[in-house]
């Protein structure tokens, strides 16, 4: 499962959901150390097919990817309201498929907003696509920016999870332990 120890290597798949284009990027590393690009791609479905067929195809493709790259966790972009309802619906459907595919394989899933990802990668939650692509290129020591933008966005999600996910996991574990101690103390008080 997801490594939370300080200095532990972790492999994360970042998924930039989309019904027509779905970016997937795999990064390996640990917070504070140079990261390694494992793989990156953009999955596609045909816009002329019905939605159900496209979702099944997307689930198959994401599942094959997860089975092949064997990540420790998955980071998916949190869907937010956009002006175009059709676009947000397709994005939300693709995100749900990604979450289901990861969960089916027992992988922890984290959701990150675009501004969280931008802040993690560039230091600015309002950074533009070009800034994100430039930082992903620099952080992964690539010769050129990943294209299309969906690929760079997926890698940015994975980078964000490597850098922030360990802290989030440790915090969640601490909260869980504290709740368990509180429950045990209540049991001891009653007896």
DSSP state of 71: -
Pairing relationship of beta strands 21-29 and 10-16 according to DSSP bridges = antiparallel
SS3 state of residue 40 = strand
Q: Which two tokens stand for residue 130?
A: 């070009």
57 is annotated as an active-site residue: no
Name the catalytic one among 64, 72, 143, 150: 150
150 is annotated as an active-site residue: yes
Name the catalytic one among 16, 28, 72, 153: 16
The secondary structure of the chain in percent helix, strand, coil, rounded to multiples of 5, reads: 55, 20, 30
77 is annotated as an active-site residue: yes
SS3 state of residue 23 = strand
Name the catalytic one among 28, 72, 77, 153: 77
Q: Which residues are annotated as catalytic?
A: 16, 77, 150
């Amino acid at each position: 499962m997801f490594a939370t120890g300080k200095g532990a290597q972790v492999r994360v798949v970042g998924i930039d959901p989309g019904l027509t284009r779905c970016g997937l990027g795999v990064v390996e590393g640990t917070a504070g150390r140079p990261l390694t690009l494992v793989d990156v791609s953009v999955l596609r479905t045909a816009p002329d097919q019905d939605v159900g067929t496209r979702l099944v195809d997307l689930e198959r493709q994401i599942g094959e990817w997860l089975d092949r790259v064997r990540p420790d966790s998955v980071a998916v972009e949190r869907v937010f309201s956009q002006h175009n309802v059709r676009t947000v619906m397709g994005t939300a459907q693709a995100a749900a498929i990604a979450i289901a595919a990861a969960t089916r394989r027992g992988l922890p899933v984290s959701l990150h907003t675009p501004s969280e990802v931008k802040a993690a990668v560039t230091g600015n939650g309002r950074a533009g696509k070009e800034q994100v692509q430039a930082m992903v290129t620099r952080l992964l020591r690539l010769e050129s920016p990943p294209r299309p933008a969906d690929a760079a966005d997926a890698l940015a999600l994975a980078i964000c999870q490597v850098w922030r996910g360990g802290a989030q996991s440790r915090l969640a574990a601490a909260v869980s332990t504290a709740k368990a101690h509180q429950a045990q103390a209540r049991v001891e008080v009653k007896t």
